Chains A and B, each alone.
Chain A
Amino acid sequence: MIFRYFYVLVFAAFILSFYVWGQTQSVRLGYDVDNLRRECERWEQENRTWRLKVNCLLSMERLDKVAQEKKLVTPDEKVIIYLSS
C-alpha cells in the first residue's frame, strides 16, 4: 500500500518536472526565435540595401553620365537598322 502511494508521488513529481522543463524550454526557444527574427530582419534590410545599390548603379542618369564621361554618343538614326519583330 505504501509503495502504491510512493509510485503515485514519483509519477506526479515526474509530470511536474516535465511541465517545468517544458516551460523553461519554451522560454529558451522564445529567446532563440526572437534572436533569429532580428537576424532575419537584419538580412532582409541588408538585402534591401543591396537592391537599392544595384538600382542606383543601373539608374539611367548614372549610365548617361558614365557614357558622357567615356565620350560615347547616341548613334545617328541613319546608321541604325531595325529588324521587324
Chain B
Amino acid sequence: MYNYRRTILPFVLLFASFAAVGARLFFIQVWNHEELDRRVQKLICRDRPEQPCRGMVLDSQGRILAMSVRSYSVFLDMSRIDGLDEVDTALRKFHITIPREAYSTAKNSSYLPVVKNIDMATMQSIKALALKGVGFTAGYERQYPQGRLACHLLGVVGKDGDGLEGVELRSNEILSGDRIKDRRYRDGRGREISDRLVDLKDMRGANVYLTIDSNLQFIAEQELEKAWKESRAKKAMVVIQDPRTGDILAMAARPNFDPADYAGSGCSLRNPVISDVFEPGSTFKLVTAAAAIEEKAAKPSEVIWCEDGKYQLFGHTVSDHEKKGFLTLAQIIEYSSNIGAAKIGQRLGKDTLYRYIRQFGFYSLTGVDLPGEAKGLLKRPTSWSGLSLPVISFGQEIGTTAMQITNAYSAIANGGLLLEPEVIGEIKSPDGQTVSRAQKRIIRRVCSPETAAQLREMLRGVVEEGTGQLARVPGYSVGGKTGTAQKRDPKTGRYSSSAYVASFCGVIPLSLPRLTIYVALDEPQGDYWGASRAGPVFSRIASRAVHHLKIDPDREPLRLAGGKNF
C-alpha cells in the first residue's frame, strides 16, 4: 500500500527548514535591517576629511610665487620597534636623526615625531626599507620658489597652513578651498576604497594671479636693496603702479624676510608700504597746488613772494632749503618752496585744503586688496592750530602711507581719476577657468583733466630744472616731486634735525603715463635729501622698468653705437 504520510513528511520537514531559514533571513535583512546596517557601517566605513592642496599664488605672467607640495613627516611607534639602533642606522642614511627622547622618556610612546617635511622620494625610499615601527603622516608644505621676492606682498602661512599676512591672508578662503569628506570602506584585509570618485580638482584650492610682474618686482627690489645698504636707512620702500588701471606692478620694502622661514627673521611681517604712516614732506605739495588751481586760488604763472627763505608765522620760522624771492606756482613746486606752499595753503583756508586732502584719498583707506592697511593721520580742521594750515600745505603734521601718495600721483598722471589699487588680478579654479577678474575701479574724480595736465607740467619742471634733476631718465619725459620730511623725535616730541624721510614720486613717460613710481628711504644716514637719495633710485628703477616693458622713448631719437642717429 502506498503510504501518503510517509511520502509527504520529508517534504514538509524540508519546507519547514526553508521556511525557518527564510524567516531568519527576513528577521535579519528586513526586520533588523537598520540596526545591523548601522553596526556594519561603523565597522567598515569612515569619513575621512580631506584638506585640499592650497592653491598657488602667481604673478601676472603665470610665474609661481607660492605653491604647496606634498610633504611627509616621519614618526616612530615605539611599541612596535624591535631594535632602535637598527632603525637609527637606517634613517641616518637619509640624514635623519632619532630624537634622544626615544631612548629615555618616550620609550613607550606610540607617536614620536622624528622629522617633518621630507619629500615624496625620500619617503618612498624609507618606506621601501619596511622598517617596523616607522610611520608617515602626509601634509602639505608651502614653498616660495622666488625666495624673498615680494615677501611683504605675499605674506606667510602658519603651521596649520592658513594665511597670516599679505595675499596669503587676504585670499585664505580662496586658496584653501573647501574641505571634502571622502567616505571610505574597509574590507577584511584593511584595504580601503572610496565611496565615490573624488575629482582631483576638488583636492586643490583656487589659484590667485597677482597684478605684479616678477621681473619688475626684481628690478625694484634689486635697486632698493642697493639704495638701502648705501644709505644705511632704517627702512626703504618702493611702489610701482600703472596709473591707467590702478594695478600694482611692484611693491617692495626693506628689511625683508624669507616667507618660508620667517620665524627667526627678526623683521616685522607687516607690509610697511600700506601700514607705515609717516609725514610725506614736499611730495604732498602737489595736493596743495591741485587745490589752488582747481579753486582758482592761484594760477601756475602767478608770482608769489617767498620771503627770501625765512617766513615768520605764529612765533615759528618756516624756512626753505634755498633762498628764493619771487616764484610762480610752478616754480614753487620746481624748487620745493615751503614758504610758497604755506602761503598758497593760507589762501585756500583750512576747510578747502582739508576737503582736497580727503578727496585725494588721504586719511582714508585706498581699498588695496591687502590686509593691515592704515588710514593715516590727519586732525579735523577744527583742531588745527594757526600753524597747522601752512605746515600741512608742505606735507608736515599729516601722516600718510606710501600707497596713498602713489595713488594720488597716479590720479594726476591719468587725468584726475583716483583709482582703487589692485594687487589681485585674477582668480582661477584649479582646472584653469577664470572665476573672477579685477576690474578698474574709479573711486572719484579729484581734479579736472586740465588741472591734472598743468600739474604734470609742474612735475616735469621739477625734473628738468628743479630739485629732481637726478631723477631723469635718458630718452624719456619724466615728472616727479622730491620730498625730505623731518621726523618727530619720540623723546622730545619735536621735529628732529637728524632724522628724515627722503622720498621721490614720479611718473614716466609724462606724455603718456605708464608708470607711477614712489621711492622712500626712512632715516638715511649722512645725506638725507630726497633729491640725492631717492631721485637716483627712481631714475635707475624707471630706466630698467621702461625697457623691460618695452615702452618706447618719447624724447630723444634712438642712437646707434658711434653716435649716429637712427
Contact = CB atoms under 8 A, between A and B. Distances in A.
A37 B197 contact: yes
Contacts of B198: 37
B193 A81 contact: no
Nearest to A84: B552
A85 B552 contact: yes
Interface residues of A, number: 32
Contact of B143 (A46, A52, A58): A52
Contact of A55 (B145, B193, B194): B145
B120 A61 contact: no
Contacts, number: 78
A59 B547 contact: no
A81 B561 contact: yes
Contacts of B550: 85
B150 to A, nearest CB: 10
B203 interface: yes
Interface stretch (A3-11, A12-20, A27-35): A27-35
Nearest to B191: A31
A interface, by DSSP: helix, strand, loop or mixed? helix
Contacts of A34: 192-194
B193 A84 contact: no
Contact of B222 (A40, A64, A84): A64
Contacts of B67: 48, 51-52, 55
Contact of A82 (B200, B222, B547): B547
Contact of B149 (A51, A59, A82): A59
A72 to B, nearest CB: 14
A44 B145 contact: no
Nearest to B143: A52
B193 A49 contact: no
B64 interface: yes
B200 A81 contact: no
Contact of A49 (B119, B147, B194, B543): B119
B215 interface: yes
Contacts of B119: 49
A34 B193 CA distance: 6
Contacts of A24: none
Interface string B50-89: 0001000000000110010110000000000000000000
A1 interface: no
A85 B198 CA distance: 49
Given A77-B474, A79-B561, A84-B558, A40 B200 contact: yes
A25 interface: no
Nearest to A34: B193
Nearest to B199: A37
A84 B148 CA distance: 34
B200 A55 contact: no
A2 interface: no
Q: Which 8 A/B pairs are nearest by Cβ-Cβ distance?
A: A55-B145, A60-B218, A45-B70, A56-B145, A61-B147, A34-B193, A30-B193, A55-B64
Given A30-B194, A37-B197, A52-B69, 13 more contacts: A48-B53, A48-B69, A52-B64, A52-B145, A56-B145, A60-B214, A61-B146, A61-B218, A77-B474, A79-B561, A82-B558, A83-B558, A85-B552
Interface of A: 27, 30-31, 33-34, 37, 40-42, 44-46, 48-49, 51-52, 55-56, 58-62, 64, 77, 79-85
